[in-house]
């Protein structure tokens, strides 16, 4: 069997221990080892072929880490025993959300370029750019 880069059983055990400590101390911080695992998962997921050609890979990774930490307490280690799958799915969906945001921003930028007079040719030129067409 191939060696995995994240040990799911160890990950699950660390989360169980964290939740036990959290009951005693509500201000308990996420263990450093768990944080490193989350960072590793985000970086590794960003290398998948479906996310390979995007220029905003760092945003993928940062968004995924942030989202995983935000919803960390939502994971119930008593009910579920596969934290790797849970957090990978969360990160995957976060990547897709970032792609949607970037597409919306790109569309806004393209519309702005087509409407703004600053991008038209100099005065006296025959070519004009407006939101409907290029003349």
Q: How do the pLDDT tens digits run along the chain, 135 residues long? A: 346 788 999 999 999 999 999 999 999 999 999 999 999 999 999 999 999 888 888 998 999 999 999 999 999 998 999 999 999 999 999 999 999 998 898 888 887 766 655 555 555 555 545 555 544
**Residues 6+ away with beta carbon under 8 Å from 46:** 57, 60, 61, 64, 95
Angle (CA) 88 92 98, round 5°: 145
Secondary structure percentages of the chain, helix, strand, coil, to 5:
65, 0, 35
pTM tops 0.85:
no
Cα 103 from Cα 92, distance rounded (Å): 17
Contact 19, 77 (CB under 8 A): yes
Cα 36 from Cα 6, distance rounded (Å): 10
């Amino acid at each position: 069997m191939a060696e995995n880069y994240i040990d799911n059983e160890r990950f699950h055990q660390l989360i169980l221990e964290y939740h036990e400590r959290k009951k005693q101390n509500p201000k308990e911080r996420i263990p450093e080892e768990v944080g490193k695992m989350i960072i590793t998962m985000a970086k590794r997921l960003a290398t998948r072929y479906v996310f390979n050609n995007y220029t905003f890979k760092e945003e993928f990774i940062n968004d995924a880490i942030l989202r995983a930490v935000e919803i960390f307490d939502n994971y119930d280690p008593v009910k579920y025993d596969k934290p790797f799958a849970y957090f990978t799915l969360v990160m995957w969906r976060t990547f897709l959300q970032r792609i949607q945001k970037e597409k919306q921003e790109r569309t806004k930028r393209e519309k702005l370029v087509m409407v703004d007079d600053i991008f038209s040719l100099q005065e006296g030129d025959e070519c004009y750019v407006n939101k409907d067409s290029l003349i």
